[in-house]
Amino acid sequence: MAKHITTPLSDETIASLKAGDQVLLTGVVYTARDAAHKRLIALIKEGKELPIDLQGQVIYYVGPAPAKPGDPIGSAGPTTSMRMDPYAPTLMEHGMKGMIGKGMRSKEVRDAMVRHRSVYFAAVGGAAALVAKRIKSAEVVAYDDLGPEAIRKLYVEDLPLFVIDDIHGDDLYEQGVAKYRKA
Amino acid sequence: MGCTKQRVIQAGDIADAMETLCISACCNLPKENLKRIEAFAAAEESEVGRQVLEMILENHRLAAREQRPACQDTGLAVVFLELGQDVRIEGRDLVEAINEGVRRGYEKGYLRKSVVSEPLFERKNTRDNTPAIIHTSIVAGDKLKITLAPKGGGAENMSGVAMMIPAAGVEGVRKFVIEQVRKAGPNPCPPVVVGVGVGGNFEVAPLLAKKALVRPMGSKNPNPAYAALEDELLEAINKLGIGPQGLGGSTTALAVHIEYAPCHIASLPVAVNLNCHVSPHQSITL
């Protein structure tokens, strides 16, 4: 059974999540991928204010397809998270509590998740039309010039996710392979 | 000496065909892809794995029904042209016609524009998904076959090439292919399609691997030795335990396709190009 959770993620919610859990996430999430991360980190280095408040927030690594008329967003599945690994620990230092993407994270990112009590979720990659159905609104809040890579504020309802990395350092990808590997 | 009559194809028709291909390839996945995923879903050992495969199937059907791209990453427009040598193209430049079709298709189909004009310093989005990557072969005849294989970045990043020595042999190829899929783990959106190119040289092997990906999913190499290696590799890869989306399971790959070419007496180039479970491609012949 999937757990229902809401954003911003409370410390209590975060503590209850374990690698392998299936969750349905409701609330605001922000989109950001490579180019937006690069800009956010540059602002942090310069000591400037960020265009979004990261406290307790969840970042979804996605570059959506354009919305058809009448839709809030186009197909919007996760992108590969490891490309954001160089930036993620700094964003966690600034309050980010959750990340949604797909694929493995580096040891540095997993250590930072334990340290900052953040979680990493995976959405089903390539199920992008289906994921888009769970996104109820979307607006660009920064970096419009980046096109699909702009930062968007999304409101999602019951977005189906898997907990990959929890605050105890456990990882679903490692557990999955260990369970089913035959050679 | 006979004089072969040239057949004229209008560049405008090529652009129109490209526009249609871009939209259709991203929304309507080949039937054999869905059949293949259904078959693997029935045999998947992990319950979560089965659930993920069912979601993927639901997604792919939804994409076709509502004409939405199955994946938001509608990729680089990788185009294979088989241009009959008796064809003359009229109207304008062939490359420009292809790019015009890509520009229109990605706009009208609400497809994502994922191309930056320069890779290292500015990385500025071209905003129309051009230029396409075009591979042209001149062939006999008076037709033009256009195959479009939109290629996402996630699986592409997990691809690799090795310049092996001939002594490495079948065992070397086997190890390299399996290791490439193992290392990629959950990143390329498994279950994947594994395109393998063997032979040629440094630039030909990856092109063979890419061409292998546009074969109908699950088709066999006509050479029985290579077909047997495809089966063997698929079985070995599906013992890795990675499973659908890397969450664990028996369906890590849907197919292994190998293409080969003659090579130098000193060489054994091998390339692995991974594709995700969406694996879109479509052709039109003019």
pLDDT tens digits for range B116-157: 999 999 999 999 999 999 999 999 999 999 999 999 999 999
B239/A183 Cβ within 8 A: yes
Q: For chain B, which domains are there?
A: 7-26+70-151 (no CATH), 154-280 (3.30.1330)
Active site residue A116: no
pLDDT at B201 over 70: yes
Q: What is the dihedral of CA B165, B171, B176, B177, to 10 degrees?
A: 130
Place of tokens 């994502």: B112
Separation CA A129–CA B38 (nearest Å): 19
Whether the predicted model's global pTM rises above the 0.90 cut = yes
Using CA atoms, how far apart are residues B92 and B79, in angstroms rounded to an integer? 18
Residue B91: per-residue pLDDT:
97
- CA B8 to chain A, closest CA, distance in angstroms equals 37
Euclidean distance between CA atoms B45 and B42, whole angstroms: 9
Number of A to B CB contacts under 8 A, please give it: 165
pLDDT at A183: 78
The pLDDT, as a whole number, for residue A48 is 96
Picking from B223, B225, B220, B255, the residue whose alpha carbon sits closest to that of residue B237 is B255
Q: How confident is the model at residue B2 (pLDDT cuts 50, 70, 90)?
A: low
**DSSP secondary structure string for all residues of A91-156:** HHHTT--EEEEBS---HHHHHHHHHHT-EEEE--TT-HHHHHTTEEEEEEEE-GGGGGGSEEEEEE
Determine contact, residues A44/A92, Cβ cutoff 8 Å.
Answer: no
Token pair belonging to A156 = 């999602």
Q: What would the pLDDT profile of B94-110 be if each residue is shown by its tens digit?
A: 999 999 999 999 999 99
Q: CB–CB of B107/B77 below 8 Å? A: no
Mean pLDDT across chain A: 97
Q: How far is CA A105 from the centre of its chain?
A: 12
Report B:39-68 residues touching A (Cβ under 8 A).
Answer: 45-46, 48, 52, 55-56, 58-59, 62-63, 66, 68
Q: Is A164 in contact with A21 (CB distance < 8 Å)?
A: no
Sheet with B76-84, edge to edge strand ranges: B133-139, B76-84, B144-151, B282-285
Looking from the CA of A29 toward its CB, the CA atoms found within 13 Å total 27
Q: What does residue B242 show for φ and ψ, rounded to 5 degrees? A: -60, -50
For residue B3, pLDDT over 80 is answered with no
pLDDT in tens, B219-252: 999 999 999 999 999 999 999 999 999 999 999 9
Q: What is the pLDDT of residues B21-38, one digit of tens each?
A: 999 999 999 999 999 999
* pLDDT tens-digit series, residues B65-124: 999 999 999 999 999 999 999 999 999 999 999 999 999 999 999 999 999 999 999 999
* Structural domains present in chain A: 3-180 (3.20.130.10)
Record the tokens describing residue A158, joined without a space.
């019951």
Residue ranges for chain A with pLDDT beneath 70? none
